[in-house]
Amino acid sequence: MTEISEKKDDKVGQNGGSLDKLKEKWPSPFVSRDRIGEFTDGILKQSSMNTMDARGDGISPRYRIGNRVFYETEKVVDWLKARAK
């Protein structure tokens, strides 16, 4: 039984490492909501983030300047890791 949990933990660690690569290749410390699809290679869409933010399930903190909403790159990756299965 211990072997199964160890393998499961290893898998989670590998997913987290893969998600960290998104942050490494992104040229900015921020990701605007309208570019979330580009940042995640199509995993998320701007419309999905609109909905999740409205429900309170989105990435926190989020910032707004004028009509543009954006997130800290590191927080986007942390949020993805928390939701990844």
Tell me whether residue 19 is in a domain: no
* Number of domains within the chain: 1
Please say if the pLDDT value at position 9 is more than 50.
no
Whether the CA torsion 39, 41, 47, 49 is positive or negative: it is: negative
Q: Locate 27 and state its tokens.
A: 């040229």
Tell me whether residue 62 is in a domain: yes
In 1-85, where do the E strands start and end? 30-32, 62-65, 68-72
Q: Which residue has the higher pLDDT, 13 or 20?
A: 20
* Per-residue pLDDT, 16: 64
Query: For the segment 18-56, what is each residue's pLDDT rounded down to a tens digit?
Result: 888 999 999 999 999 999 999 999 999 999 999 999 999
37 lies in which domain range? 30-85
Count of Cβ atoms closer than 10 Å to residue 83 Cβ: 10
Query: For the segment 57-79, what is each residue's pLDDT rounded down to a tens digit?
Result: 999 999 999 999 999 999 999 99
Please say if the pLDDT value at position 13 is more than 70.
no
7 falls in which pLDDT band (50, 70, 90)? very low
State yes or no: cis peptide before 61, omega within 30 of 0. yes
Tell me whether residue 17 is in a domain: no
Count of Cβ atoms closer than 10 Å to residue 75 Cβ: 15
Distance between CA atoms of residues 23 and 73, nearest Å: 6
